[in-house]
Chain A
């Protein structure tokens, strides 16, 4: 169990937090890991806070509970910092990744004294620059892979290209934009 990595995603319905968790499970599976990716549904409506989870491990995963003491938290929508206790249970050896255009200095006072590492990325900027539309989950996926070090960047990009080629088989024109978003996000996260 020591090799188990647990990640909690906080987003709002419609922003793709669940999809991002499933994509992360997908790419981790491709590198030979045991994975879980699952959503926790509250009221199903656009804009309501939702939570999604990942367990990634070198050994079989049997637990079927939600995750309360994650190593990592991803905040897809920074307005949730006020609405949800996003750092609850988050291990101080771990890290939190926040999608924001603000600076770390501006964000940290909103984290209730969280002592671990804080990473930020402006997923809006990355998404608009590479895809022309706001899909925060693609940049955040790359950012969390970088933050966790779950796999090296080269492997990640190779597996994601294969995954997008399959997923977007009927609209290949979006593959390059998504790949560009991943590459830019790997550089932008800090």
Chain B
């Protein structure tokens, strides 16, 4: 039986974690993710979970402790934002290269500077090539659902990679909205017990984790990591299918909204997708053929699937909530354009940088993006393909 509630995104993720009851949760607080360990600490104090909660002195240590616990054979995780993720940089690669299926509840926040506490994706986008699986959410419901599905993906024997469950700082983390929660027992049953094949605290089979790798082997190790990544998409789809069975909510690698006959499309990640859906409904009422692709799984990147979804589109705007400083756009723009190129796609493409440091995105802003796409089609060319949305001139 689903339970209707109203929760902030942070509370929703904390409740998912209570239901999962992981073995080890080391944490160091940083806005706007602080509430996740804060709520979780109260679950520990109230005896609602038997997780080993370790308050540490930095994010470098919280990720290190999560890695140590995972290597030992425990189901572990931590939570962070922004500079906290930056301070974990070295360990992110350690976790992925050691094939440790730990989780990170990331609440997206701009990186300094200028110092800013609000949402953009610069923190997780910087970590996109670290070998972690990355999943994003539009709202509190998706953040909760992704968290419940996380370990089923990361711990899958064909995957064995760490997973980052991302949501937009403040916009979803601190907004109270309606949500449907699963029963504790349903989540427990769905997630299951973690029984790693190889782990440090196994006296029957001593092993080394993270030893030095000479040039002879380093490249093969990295290629093996990529092999794990190759299986992620299928596992994500299989887990989502099973999850739909208990929750009634269907998930894919990305969501297609009113794309069936769309001539103009937006590709984006995160909370502004909801705002974009409102813009699409308004324009559809006027007969305009517009749609949205909202990325759920960003790493690995579902390139061929996205190119397929865009194959009948005349013009597409790819929205990046992070700068790439390439002088031609952001990371999502590069990924989608490369996917289109490989698939010999014909869509005219523009890449917008938007929402940096929490810059608000309104329904009217997104209507403006669709209007710009209309112009691009009329003119038969994208013109300046690297644009900013909502910038004060």
Contacts from A to B (Cβ < 8 Å): 1, 22, 25-26, 29, 34-41, 44, 60-66, 68
Contacts and interface: CB of A to CB of B under 8 A. Distances in A.
A63 B278 CA distance: 7
Given A36-B177, A63-B363, 9 more contacts: A34-B177, A38-B176, A39-B174, A40-B170, A60-B178, A62-B277, A64-B168, A64-B175, A66-B360
A168 B33 CA distance: 25
Contacts of B175: 36-38, 64
Secondary structure class of chain B's binding surface, majority of residues? loop
The residue in A29, A34, A64 that gathers the most chain B C-beta atoms within 10 A of its C-beta is A64
B176 A26 contact: yes
A41 B172 CA distance: 13
Contacts of A66: 360, 362
Given A25-B6, A29-B6, A61 B177 contact: yes
Contacts of A40: 170
Interface in B260-283: 271-272, 274-275, 277-278
Given A26-B6, A41-B170, A65-B363, A35 B274 contact: no
Contacts of B118: 41
A97 B168 CA distance: 31
Interface string B1-15: 000001000000000
A13 to B, nearest CB: 14
B74 interface: no
Contact of B6 (A1, A35, A44, A64): A35
Nearest to A62: B274
15 contacts: A25-B176, A29-B6, A29-B178, A36-B176, A37-B176, A60-B178, A62-B274, A63-B278, A64-B168, A64-B275, A64-B361, A65-B275, A65-B362, A66-B360, A68-B362
A61 B174 CA distance: 16
B115 to A, nearest CB: 11
A60 B6 CA distance: 13
A63 B138 CA distance: 10
The residue in A35, A38, A41, A63 that gathers the most chain B C-beta atoms within 10 A of its C-beta is A63
B170 A39 contact: yes
A136 B123 CA distance: 38
Contacts of B177: 34-36, 61
Contacts of B6: 25-26, 29, 35
Interface in B225-260: none
Interface string B359-374: 0111100000000000
B142 to A, nearest CB: 12
Given A38-B170, A41-B118, A63 B178 contact: no
Contacts of B272: 64
Nearest to B276: A62
A29 B180 CA distance: 13
Contacts of B278: 1, 62-63
B296 to A, nearest CB: 16
Contacts of A44: 117
B135 interface: no
A35 B170 CA distance: 16
Contacts of A1: 278
B176 A35 contact: yes
Contact of A64 (B117, B171, B176): B171
A36 B363 CA distance: 16
Given A26-B6, A41-B170, A64 B274 contact: yes
Contact of B275 (A26, A41, A62): A62
Contacts of B138: 64
B60 to A, nearest CB: 25
Contacts of B277: 62
B12 to A, nearest CB: 14
Contacts of A64: 138-139, 168, 171-172, 175, 271-272, 274-275, 361
Contacts of B361: 64-65
Contacts of A41: 117-118, 170
Contacts of B274: 62-64
Interface in B15-54: none
Contacts of B176: 22, 25-26, 35-38
Nearest to B172: A64
Closest 8 CB pairs of A and B: A38-B175, A62-B274, A64-B271, A29-B6, A37-B176, A65-B362, A63-B275, A25-B176
